[in-house]
Homo-oligomer: A and B are copies of this chain.
Amino acid sequence: MTKVVSMQAAIAAHVRDGDTVVIEGFTHLINFAAGHEIIRQGRKNLTLCRLTPDLIYDQMIAAGCAKKLVFSWAGNPGAGSLHAFRRAVEKGTPPLEIEEYSHFGMVARMSAGAARLPFWVMRNYMGTDLPVANPRIRTVTCPYTGEVLATVPALNPDVTIIAAQRADQNGNAQVWGLLGVQKEAAFASKRVIVVVEELVDESVIRADPNRTLIPGMIVDAVVVEPWGCHPSYAQGHYDRDNDFYVAWEDISRDPAKLEQYLKDYVYGVKDRAEYLAKNPGLTDRLKAKAQVCAGVNYGF
């Protein structure tokens, strides 16, 4: 039985007001299409978690979806700030709770969640103000050496949205290029939506099982959404739209411009196809060149 549904149906079924939501992807494979659909469906009071909130959470904060942000680096790399995030934290418009870790801390929280352990151990944070700002960063004593080590609590989201280059209809998903913390986030989550550039036959997955990052058994919905990560990217499919990341500095700095952006590109389109139609030339400009590796022998 196929799990393939439209983005509208996947978000309607699996993302609820008040949920703890993870849209992961470290620079690579950040699924903007899902974030836009959550905005369009008017979800409220979400606890948004991610290492790098990136532009998509900046948009969701501006659109009023977020009650709380759990993160480790909130900037626009190489381009500036996430101004909607900054307005929320600096001026309270709109109000936003924050819970802050380092990257390693966020990765560790998801690793604990994925392993269904209540915490994860690391050597970190000594001497810093991070445990002062966030009392959920604690310590544990090693039962062998007596050493005191840092801990972070498990993160177990209600729903995690992961982008992948390809999956079969059961959600067995393959990813190459940067892997980020997607596997851990998906296994930590109660529900998982996989959004793919390409739906493939199960035989394609089975031909190269070492590439599978997410097994279908943990996936609730598969959405086929080519170019769903723009302005983020999908290795082998399309490049990162660095120009848009630079442009965001200007857009997000001005609440009116940001509002106009949402009107034009989120509320003003009904799905990703319409979004692409509103960005003429985009696919020609960013389409990936071919650099295909050789296969390996799985025979015996």
The residues of A with any CB-CB pair to B shorter than 8 Å are: 116-123, 136, 138-145, 147, 149, 151, 153, 165, 176-177, 179, 204, 207-208, 210-211, 233, 235-240, 288-300
Contact = CB atoms under 8 A, between A and B. Distances in A.
Contacts of A297: 235-237, 288, 290-292
Nearest to A136: B144
14 contacts: A117-B122, A117-B149, A119-B121, A119-B143, A119-B144, A140-B141, A143-B151, A176-B296, A179-B210, A210-B211, A288-B299, A291-B298, A291-B299, A295-B295
Given A208-B294, A236-B299, A118 B147 contact: yes
A121 B151 CA distance: 12
Contacts of A121: 117, 119-121
A298 B143 contact: no
User: How many monomers of this protein are in the complex?
Assistant: 2
B177 A298 contact: yes
A294 B291 contact: no
Given A143-B138, A143-B140, A210-B176, A123 B119 contact: no
Contact of A292 (B151, B235, B298): B298
B142 A118 contact: yes
A143 B149 contact: no
4 smallest CB-CB distances across A and B, nearest first, come from A236-B297, A291-B299, A208-B293, A293-B295
